[in-house]
Amino acid sequence: MSMREGEPVLAGVRERLSRVAGPPTRAQVVDAVQASGLVLGSTALAEMLAQVRAELFGAGELQRFLDDPLVTDVLVNGPAEVWVDRGRGLERTDVDLGTAQDVRELAVRLAAAGGQRLDDASPTVDARLPDGTRLHAVIEPVCASGAVISLRVLRARAFTVAELVETWMIPPGWEPVLRAVVRERVSFLVSGATGTGKTTLLAALLSLVDRGERIVTIEEARELVPDHPHVVSLVARRPNVEGSGAVDLSALVRNALRMRPDRIVLGECRGAEVRDVLTALNTGHEGGCATVHANAAGDVPARLEALAALAGMDREAVAAQAVSAFDVVIHLRRTRHAGEGARRFVSEVALVRRDERDRLVVTPALTWNGVGAPQEGGGWPALVERLGPGEGVR
C-alpha cells in the first residue's frame, strides 16, 4: 500500500491522535490504526505503523532519503520537484508529494517536530528535527507556492581526519600540517562555498584537540559533534512569539568567554558576531576556530570586512583584529561537475597577514586542484615557521 492509497486511513488515524495530549506513544498509534477499522496481519500492521509514524512524526515520503546513508541533502521545491544529494551533486527524484498544499503541510509538520511554528505570521523556519536533521523551510508567500524545504542530514559521528584522507578530501601530504595546526593551537578559519564540507572538516579537526582541553562550540543549530570528551555546545535561540527570549550568537560568544574555554568555536560566522569573535581571539584566547562562507580563500578578507561592517567595524579595525585573531585559512571546494568522481576537497591552506599597504590578505601556503600534485605557495615558509619543528610538516 502506498502512502497515497493509505491517505484516508491516515486521516482517520491523525484525527484520533489529535485527541491525545502530548506526543502519542507507539501503543496509542497502534490503537489509532486498529480503531481506524483497518484489519491487518502483523507484517502489514508493522508496515502501516512505520508509514504512519513517518507521516505523523517523520518526513513522510522523504523519510527514505533521510534514512539512506549516502544522502546528505534533501531539497523540496514543489510537490514533484524533490532533489537529493548523494555526494555526486544534485539528482532529481521521481517522488510525488501530492499538491502544493501537501508540501506546505509537510513543512508545517516538520517545523512542529522541531519545536517551531511555521505559519502566516512566521513563514520561515530554521530548526533541528528530533533525529538531528537540520530543517529550513519557507512557505507561501515567501516562496511562490506551497513550501520550499531544505533538509541537511546530520552524521551520527564526525569523520576522522584519516577517513578524510582516505576519501581524498585531504591530500595525504597535508595531514601532518592540519594536525600541527590543531596541536600548535593555531587559530583557523575553514572557508568554502555552501555545502563544501566546512562543518565536516571542522568537526574532524576538533576531534584532534588534546583530550585535556575544554571546547565550547557556538552555533545557530547544533551540527558540530566532534569526537572529543569535553565539548560544551551552545545553541542560539530565536525569539518566541512575543518577540522575547532571543539569545543570539554574539551573546553566546560573550558567554563562552566566561566558561573557561580552551577553544572557542563559532560554527559559522555569518553576521555581527564576527566582532565578538575577533575580540575574544584578541584577548588571549588562542586556538579559536570558525567556518565562513567564501568562494575562494582570497575572498575571506572581504567577507570578514563585510560581516564586521554589520557590527559597525571599519576596514582598518577588521584588518588589525583579524590578523592577530586568525593565523590560517583552510579552504574547501567541490569539483565542478556532478556525477561519478564528484568530490569535496581541501583546496588551500593559507596564511592571514597584512600586505605592505596594511590591507588584510590571505597568502596561499599550499594549494591543490583536487587531482594533481599539491603545490607549495608563497606563504609556505612562514607557515612552517608558525607550526614549528613538529613531526612531518617540513
Query: Which DSSP letter does residue 188 get?
Result: E
| Interface with ligand ATP, residue 153, by CB under 6 A | yes
Which neighbouring-strand residues pair with 247?
237
Q: Residue 7 or 163: which CB sits closer to ligand ATP?
A: 163
CB of 187 to Mg ion, least distance (A): 18
CB of 390 to Mg ion, least distance (A): 28
For residue 310, CA distances in Å to 79, 161, 252, 269, 276 come to: 38, 35, 17, 12, 12
Binding-residue pattern over the window 254 to 273 for ligand ATP, x denoting contact by CB under 6 A? --------------x-----
Evaluate the omega torsion of the peptide bond into residue 123 and state whether it is cis, within 30 degrees of 0: no
The only residue of 10, 32, 103, 169 in contact with ligand ATP, by rule CB under 6 A: 169
Q: Reduced to 3 states, what is the DSSP secondary structure of residue 67?
A: coil
Q: Name the residue with the smallest CB distance to Mg ion.
A: 199
**Rounded Cα–Cα distance for residues 304 and 315 (Å):** 9
For residue 103, CA distances in Å to 5, 32, 79, 167, 203 come to: 17, 24, 6, 36, 33
**Cell for 35?**
480503531
Residue 155: which of Mg ion, ligand ATP, none does it interact with, CB under 5 to 8 A by kind?
ligand ATP
Residue 167: which of Mg ion, ligand ATP, none does it interact with, CB under 5 to 8 A by kind?
ligand ATP
Following DSSP, what letter does each residue of 195-258 receive, concatenated?
A: TSSHHHHHHHHHTTS-TTS-EEEEESS-----S-S-EEEEE-B---TTS---B-HHHHHHHHHT
Binding-residue pattern over the window 178 to 207 for Mg ion, x denoting contact by CB under 5 A? --------------------xx--------
CB of 224 to Mg ion, least distance (A): 9
**Cell for 197?**
564540507
Query: Which DSSP letter does residue 379 get?
Result: T
CB of 275 to ligand ATP, least distance (A): 21
Q: Which range, of 14-22, 43-51, 195-203, 253-261, touches ligand ATP by CB under 6 A?
A: 195-203
The only residue of 192, 261, 288, 374 in contact with ligand ATP, by rule CB under 6 A: 192
The only residue of 24, 171, 197, 261 in contact with ligand ATP, by rule CB under 6 A: 197
Q: Which residues bind ligand ATP (CB under 6 A)?
A: 72, 87, 152-153, 155, 164, 167, 169, 192, 194-200, 268, 291, 344
Q: Which residues bind Mg ion (CB under 5 A)?
A: 198-199
